Amino acid sequence: MSETVNIFNGRVLVVALDGWTDAGSGATGAANYIREKLGAERLLNFDDPEYFDYLRQRPVIVLDEHGDRDFLWPSIELWGPSKDKVRENNLSLYFLIGQEPALQWPYLRDEIREIVEDREITSVIMLGSLAAEAPHNRPIKIYKNSQSAAVRNAYGLERSNYDGRSGFMSVLGHAFEKAGLPTISIWAQVPHYVASMPSPKAALALVNDLEIFLKFSVDHKDLLTAAFEWERSVDDFVEGDEDLANYIQSLEKARDESEAEEMNTDALALEFEQFLRQNENKESGDKES
């Protein structure tokens, strides 16, 4: 990655939507955690009934401090920097967080794109988490890709070659790219055997990656505690299932072998680079003499 290029600064939008691309609530968990720690303010709420199917996305009953009942309806919210929040490193983070819409995708896509343009947002980060054949007691793997040639060249990324069914995140990302906004997707792997329960470990991995990528920091204490407790609870769950325990051991072995192979490949690449440099220096010395 080039140190002289920083595409993702200024007004950056982080998108995370609950649903198909949010296994273990890793993406929405990370976005909400950062949003809360930075004290972001809610700017807009997309809750029009024409965007949601209440048979599939049912409202949630909540009780207030007096025991009175209310309902939380499916929605997507836009959050932005607090007016009294000091910006660091020329970075102002915005967040688009909520439930993946069920209806009228093209209309909501256009509405969000227009609002993003009106807010003069300059780049977009799409957060996701996918169920994968990965062990819960190993570090969460993070993958990045971009359809933008400028982003790929600046950060040494690859283009996604996925060809198949799509979610609203992809539709929205495509619209941002067509509008000329640099866009990157950051994905966390969540063990598929616990993908239906919230994974603070996946959220923490995404938070850490975003901090490094965007050069900012938030307090990790709460999320670290939750991630530790999550891993211990999965350990307890696995302990009573011999078949699952054996399966996880096979995942651990596959991960360790894959990482060892990657390390060997990196070592060979480093040796080759050193060999080329030595030959360049030798040729240079021969010419001077």
pLDDT at residue 267 in the model: 53
pLDDT at residue 4 in the model: 46
Read off the pLDDT of each residue in 25-46 and give the average, rounded to a whole number: 96
List pLDDT tens digits, range 67-126.
Answer: 889 999 999 999 999 865 545 568 999 999 999 999 999 999 999 999 999 999 999 999
Higher-pLDDT residue of 39 and 82 is: 39
Considering just the CA atoms, what is the radius of gyration of the chain in Å?
A: 22
Whether 1 shows a pLDDT value over 60: the answer reads no
Whether 286 shows a pLDDT value over 60: the answer reads no
List pLDDT tens digits, range 208-221.
Answer: 999 999 999 999 99
- What distances in angstroms separate CA 88 from CA 10, 11, 93, 149, 229, one per listed residue? 10, 12, 10, 28, 32
List pLDDT tens digits, range 223-248.
Answer: 999 999 999 999 998 988 899 999 99
pLDDT at residue 266 in the model: 53
Q: What is the CATH number of domain 10-239?
A: 3.40.50.10900
Which residue, among 172, 170, 137, has the nearest Cα to 252 in the 3D structure? 137
Share of the chain above pLDDT 70, in %: 86
Largest CA distance in the chain: 89
Read off the pLDDT of each residue in 14-21 and give the average, rounded to a whole number: 94
Contact 183, 151 (CB under 8 A): yes
CA–CA separation, 248 and 135 (whole Å): 6
- What distances in angstroms separate CA 172 from CA 95, 140, 176, one per listed residue? 14, 26, 6
Mean pLDDT of the chain: 88
CA–CA separation, 54 and 199 (whole Å): 26
